[in-house]
Every structure is written in structure tokens, then in C-alpha cells.
Amino acid sequence: IIIYPCMNVLFVCLGNICRSPLGEGILKNICDHTGLDWNIDSAGTGGWHAGESPDHRSIKVAAKHGIDIHQQRARQFKQDDFDKFDHIIAMDKSNFKDLTSLTSDPNHLAKISLMMDFDTASTFRDVPDPYYDNRFDLVFELVTNACNGFVQKFAEVPISLLY
């Protein structure tokens, strides 16, 4: 057997109610199916929705794929997340810029990445904000593919265990 080191992964979007809760739910689901014991969380650069459940449309698209995210609660990104997490994954370039503006520590900066960089085949550079245009199916697909790419890159689990 191969034992992989524990990883601490944080997904970050603007409100932590649409995109990053899907990242958290989808990567947790992949970890459940592949036996990876990772610590996965999500946060928003903004705090307007702190304490709220995910957007009902994110809950619905996740449920359609057998993933339950309704118990998640939104929270704002905080400074000590830079120390607690190994990978801080921004859903779009704006989130990435906001995160990099919160630290000047090179160790912190090195942890920040852009979600779609984990799907090298995709033409999307950003996971688009679906709040106003309702593209939750697209977001689910993009986040799933990028999560699979992330796991392939860092855990090297057999492709047959992904979905």
C-alpha cells in the first residue's frame, strides 16, 4: 500500500456560497472515494455571507451529482489560514489578486494557486462567478475537472477511482 501525506486544502472565492463550497464538497467526495485523508475547507475573501448555508443552486447541483453540501457554513478568509493550509486555491484571478494582497510572506504567497491551473486541458482560466448568470452546471463541471487534476498532481491515485 501507498500512504500519502495529509494535505490541507482551502478553496477561496468571493462570497463562499457558490463556487468554493462546491470545491470543498467535490474534493471531499473524491477523497472519500480514493481513501485520501485530507483536510479540506473553503472561505470567501468577503465576509458578507459569513454564517450562511451555500447558495441553494450550489446545493442543488451538488445533490444532482450525489454530493451533500448543505451543512457547510460560509466564513471569511483569515490571516492564520496562510499557516494552516498547504494549498490555497483561488477560483478566479480576482480572488487570486485579493489573496496575494493580504500577505507579503513568500511562504504564504507560494501556497496560493489558481483553480483552473489544475486543469491544463481547459480553455477556462477562471471558474466564472455563477451568482447572477446561473451557470452552476458549468461551475460544477469546471471544479470537478480541476479537483481531479489536483488529485492527479498531488496524490497520483489511479484514474479509475476518479469520476
- Please name the residue that has the C-alpha cell 480541476: 146
Q: Catalytic: 18?
A: no
Q: Is 14 in the site for ligand 4NP (CB under 6 A)?
A: yes
Q: Catalytic: 19?
A: yes
Distance CA 109, CA 88 (A): 9
- C-alpha cell of residue 16: 463562499
Catalytic residue among 19, 31, 55, 81: 19
Q: Is 12 in the site for ligand 4NP (CB under 6 A)?
A: no
* Contact residue for ligand 4NP among 9, 10, 19, 108 (CB under 6 A): 19
Q: In this structure, which amino acid lies at residue 36? A: L
Closer residue to ligand 4NP (CB): 24 or 36: 24
Q: Is 30 helix (H, G, I), strand (E, B) or coil?
A: helix
- Tell me how far the alpha carbon of residue 60 is from its chain's centroid: 17
Size of the site for ligand 4NP (CB under 6 A): 11
Catalytic residue among 41, 81, 92, 129: 129
Q: Please list the active-site residues.
A: 13, 19, 129
